[in-house]
Each structure stands twice: as C-alpha cells, then as structure tokens.
C-alpha cells in the first residue's frame, strides 16, 4: 500500500495563513512584527535561503530587514551590529544566516543574540529551556517535523522513534522534541553500529544525514512515519532528500517529500517564532 504524502506546501500555507492573522492582530495592537536577517558573505545557497525568508515575511505581513555584509566583515563588526539590533525595540527577531565565513566564531555570534529575539532557537538559553521543557523558541526544522507528524495524525507517545543525525540544529533537538512527546527515542550517527536494523524498528524515522538516498527501503518498518529532513542533490543534480523516496513510499505509512516537505515547514516555523517574539512584547 502506498504511503500518505505529508504535503509541506499545503501545511506551510496553512501555518503562514495563521501567522498572517496573528500579525494583523499584533499590528492592531500597535506592534509591527519585524525580522532582521544578517547575511555575511556571498554563499549562493545562503542567499537563496535569505531571499526565501524575506518572501515569507512579505506573505505574512512581517517587516523584514535583510542586511548583507561583506565576506571580510570582522567578528567584532558583526557583534557590534548584533548589539544594535538587540537594543532596537522595533526588531523582534534576529537571525544570522549560517554558515558564517571561517574567520568568524559561530558560537560567539549566536550567543550575542538575545534569547527573546532568537527566533532560530539556537542560543544556549533557548536550547537549555527546550531540554527542560520550558517555554522557548523551538528550532524551526525540528519544530516543523513535529507539525508534520501532528498533521499526519501520528502521536509519538509510546512509539519507537529513531533520528539519524545528531547536529545541534536538527538531529539533537528533533530527538528532544520527540522525547518530550513521550516517544522512546534512539539517536543514530556515523559511529552507530547496526544502523539499518535500528531504523527498521522505528515507528517514526527522522532522517537528517545529508546524504542522498541514505535511507533505503529495507531500513523502513512497514507503516512507519518517515520524516526526511535532508536536502541534497542526486547524481543528476536534482534536489532530493536522505530517503530513497520512491521505494520508501511503497512501504511507509506516511512520508514527507523533498522538495515540498520539511524545508517549507522550516520556513513557516520561522514566521511562527517571529510572530511570537513580537507578541511577547505586547
């Protein structure tokens, strides 16, 4: 039986429509939500992401401030600009597009974002709050994954969940959010033994590896919910995820496509967080 496709496009449109209503409401109360995005250097993929974020803001009625800084911007100069944005009451969310040029210490820069404007959910304060279950800004990609499971009617409670990947922005927080929803969670990574066997036991499988077709059909339990976070190019240069989609879709219960899946929800969740940051100032 073919899997249900969890359509990121439709879902993201629904989330953004809700944000748009919230933004209107915020404006009626005298606050215009505003997201500042800093892009350092001229990495083409980052430029595409930043343009996408500005478009989403426009769609949601959020004011967007995109600042492009040259690749040779010093860390000090970047920190000075961040301090100005941090002090600016008209700016509610601050996002520094990653990756940064090699001469800049990413962690130091992230720490300079005040937690109440950290709409990416990357600062140690927000990460810590998430770990202990306090209200915080959730990182957008894992939050988007959870929305997709909810939309598919998959309740993680009591289920066996396997996350492949342990990065700070995807794998680890995805595992934490699944745990918070009472899944029994296993995190796999490059040193995991018997990875295929572990994955094949998963009721919920989240792939955040960064390798095309890494998850093959034998690694999928019949009826499993498969969330494909990967954004890769296949041998023909075509965009694809970490999962061998065509084969997996014959065996899974539900599955997210790439493109048209988690990526769109990640963008929508940034809008949710930005609206929340603005609401918190009301």
Part in contact with ligand NDP (CB under 6 A); list of ranges 62-70, 124-132, 168-176, 215-223: 168-176
By CB under 6 A, the residues from 252 to 271 that bind ligand NDP are: 262-263, 266
Catalytic residue, chosen from 56, 117, 118, 120, is: 120
Comparison of 157 and 190: residue with beta carbon closer to ligand NDP: 190
248 binds ligand NDP (CB under 6 A): no
Interface with ligand NDP (CB under 6 A), residue from 89, 190, 194, 236: 190
What is the full DSSP assignment across the chain? -PPEE--HHHHHHHHHHHHHHHHHHHHHTT---EEEEEEES--HHHHHHHHHHHHHHHHHT-EEEEEEE-TT--HHHHHHHHHHHHH-TT--EEEEPSSPPTTS-HHHHHHTS-GGG-TT--SHHHHHHHHTT-S-PPPHHHHHHHHHHHHTT---TT-EEEEE---TTTHHHHHHHHHHTT-EEEEE-TT-SSHHHHHTT-SEEEE-S--TT-B-GGGS-TT-EEEE---EE-TTS-EE-SB-HHHHTTT-SEE--SSSSHHHHHHHHHHHHHHHHHHTT-
Within 8 A by CB and 6+ apart from 126, the residues are 115, 118, 136, 137, 138
15 binds ligand NDP (CB under 6 A): no
Interface with ligand NDP (CB under 6 A), residue from 15, 40, 208, 269: 208
- Binding to ligand NDP by CB under 6 A, coded x per residue (else -) over 139-158, reads --x-----------------
Report residue 129 as tokens.
């709050």
Comparison of 114 and 259: residue with beta carbon closer to ligand NDP: 259
Decide if 53 is catalytic: yes
Report residue 70 as tokens.
């040259």
169 binds ligand NDP (CB under 6 A): yes
27 binds ligand NDP (CB under 6 A): no
Interface with ligand NDP (CB under 6 A), residue from 61, 142, 165, 253: 165
121 binds ligand NDP (CB under 6 A): no
Catalytic residue, chosen from 97, 118, 159, 213, is: 97
Minimum Å gap between C-beta 28 and ligand NDP is 32
170 binds ligand NDP (CB under 6 A): yes
Contact (Cβ atoms closer than 8 angstroms) between residue 139 and residue 124: no
Decide if 276 is catalytic: no
22 binds ligand NDP (CB under 6 A): no
Report residue 49 as tokens.
């992401």
β-strand partners of 36: 65, 94
Could you tell me how many residues of this chain bind ligand NDP (CB under 6 A)? 25
Phi, psi of 113, rounded to the nearest 5 degrees: -85, 125
95 binds ligand NDP (CB under 6 A): no
Decide if 29 is catalytic: no
230 binds ligand NDP (CB under 6 A): yes
232 binds ligand NDP (CB under 6 A): yes
List contacts with ligand NDP (CB under 6 A): 141, 164-167, 169-171, 188-192, 195, 208-211, 229-232, 262-263, 266
Which positions are annotated as active-site residues? Answer: 53, 97, 120
């Amino acid at each position: 039986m073919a899997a249900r496709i969890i359509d990121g496009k439709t879902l993201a449109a629904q989330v953004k429509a809700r944000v748009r209503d919230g933004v209107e409401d915020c404006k009626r109360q005298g606050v215009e939500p505003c997201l500042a995005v800093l892009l350092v250097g001229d990495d083409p993929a980052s430029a595409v992401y930043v343009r996408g974020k500005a478009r989403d803001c426009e769609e949601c009625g959020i004011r967007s401030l995109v600042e492009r800084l040259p690749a040779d911007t010093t860390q000090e100069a970047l920190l000075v600009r961040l301090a100005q944005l941090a002090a600016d009451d008209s700016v509610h969310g601050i996002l520094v597009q990653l990756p940064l040029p090699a001469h800049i210490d990413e962690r130091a820069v992230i720490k300079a974002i005040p937690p109440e404007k950290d709409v990416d959910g990357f600062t140690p304060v927000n990460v810590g709050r998430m770990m202990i279950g306090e209200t915080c800004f959730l990182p957008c990609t894992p939050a988007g994954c959870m929305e997709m499971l909810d939309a598919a009617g998959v309740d993680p409670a009591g289920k066996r969940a396997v996350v492949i990947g342990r990065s700070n922005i995807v794998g680890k927080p995805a595992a934490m959010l699944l745990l918070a929803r009472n899944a029994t969670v296993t995190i796999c990574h490059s040193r995991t033994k018997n990875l295929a066997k572990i994955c094949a036991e998963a009721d919920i499988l989240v792939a955040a590896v960064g390798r095309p077709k890494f998850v093959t059909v034998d690694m999928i339990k019949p009826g499993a919910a498969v969330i494909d976070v990967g954004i890769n190019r296949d041998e023909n240069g075509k965009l694809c995820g970490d999962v061998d989609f065509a084969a997996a879709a014959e065996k899974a219960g539900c599955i997210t496509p790439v493109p048209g899946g988690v990526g769109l929800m990640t963008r929508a969740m940034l809008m949710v967080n930005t609206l929340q940051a603005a609401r918190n100032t009301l």
